[in-house]
Amino acid sequence: MLNHLSQTQIETIAVWYVVQHSLSSYYKIKAHFKNLEDSLKPESLIAWKNLNLHKNHIQRLEKFHTQEGQTEFQHLLQHIKQSSDFVITEADSCYPTQLLPYSDRPPIIFGQGNEQILLQPQIAIVGSRKSSPHGRQVAYDFAYYLSEKGFYINSGLAQGIDEAAHQGGIKNHRTIAVMGTGLDITYPSQNQALRQEIINHHGAVITEFLPTTKPLQQHFPRRNRIVSGLSLGIIVAEASLESGSLITAKLAADQGKLIFAIPGHIYSEHHQGCHQLIREGAILIDHPEQAIEDLALPTQWHSQQNSEQNNSTELSEKDSNQFLDIPDYLIPLYKQLDWVGQNIDQLATTLQLDIATLTGHLMELELSGLCMQQSGLYVRCRSNK
Domain count, the chain: 3
Asked whether the bond before 121 is cis by omega within 30 degrees of 0, the reply is no
Kindly state whether residues 189 and 283 are assigned to the same domain: yes
How many Å apart are CA 137 and CA 132, to the nearest integer?
9
Q: How far, in Å, CA of 223 to CA of 311, rounded?
A: 31
Of 164-168, 246-250, 296-300, the poorest mean pLDDT is in 296-300
Q: What is the CATH number of the domain that holds 374?
A: 1.10.10
Residue 87 is predicted with a pLDDT of: 98
Q: 26: buried, middle or exposed (CB in 10 Å: 19+, 13-18, 0-12)?
A: buried
Higher pLDDT among residues 298 and 95, named by residue: 95
Domain edge (last residue) among 236, 269, 301: 301
Residue 77 lies in a domain: yes
Let me know whether 53 and 130 are in one domain.
Answer: no
Residues 38, 176, single domain; the answer is: no
Categorize the per-residue pLDDT at 1 as very low, low, confident or very high, splitting at 50, 70 and 90: confident
| Local confidence band at 382 (pLDDT 50, 70, 90 cut-offs) | low
Same domain, 140 and 47: no
Considering only CA atoms, which of 121, 117, 153 is closest in space to residue 301? Answer: 121
pLDDT above 80: residue 260? yes
Can you give the pLDDT at residue 198?
98
Are 155 and 278 found together in one domain? yes
* Over residues 120-131, mean pLDDT: 95
Beta pairing class for 371-374 and 377-380? antiparallel
Quick: pLDDT tens for 305-350. Answer: 333 334 444 444 444 344 446 888 898 898 888 766 788 998 999 8
In a domain, 170, yes or no: yes
Full residue range of the structural domain in which residue 357 is found: 323-380
Can you say how many angstroms the Cα of residue 236 is from the centroid of all Cα atoms in its chain?
A: 17
- Which of these, 233, 229, 198, 215, lies nearest to 111 by C-alpha position? 198
| Spatial separation of the C-alpha atoms in residues 248 and 240, rounded to whole Å | 13
Going by pLDDT thresholds of 50, 70 and 90, the confidence category of residue 295 is confident
> Whose CA is closest to 162, among 150, 176, 173?
176
* 135, 224, 217, 105 alpha-carbon torsion, rounded to 10°: 170
Query: Does 63 share its domain with 169?
Result: no
Residue 82: the pLDDT is 97
pLDDT attached to residue 297? 52
Q: Is the pLDDT of residue 93 over 90?
A: no
On whether both 295 and 327 belong to a single domain, the answer is: no
- Provide the pLDDT for residue 340: 67
Q: Is the pLDDT of residue 294 over 70?
A: yes
Based on the fold, state whether residues 290 and 342 are members of the same structural domain. no
- Do 143 and 270 have their domain in common? yes
Classify residue 23: in a domain, yes or no.
yes
Note whether 120 and 17 are same-domain residues. Answer: no
Q: What is the CATH number for 194? A: 3.40.50.450
Q: Across the chain, what does the average pLDDT equal? A: 89
- State how far the Cα of 384 lies from the Cα of 197, in Å rounded to an integer: 29
Question: Do 297 and 371 belong together in one domain?
Answer: no
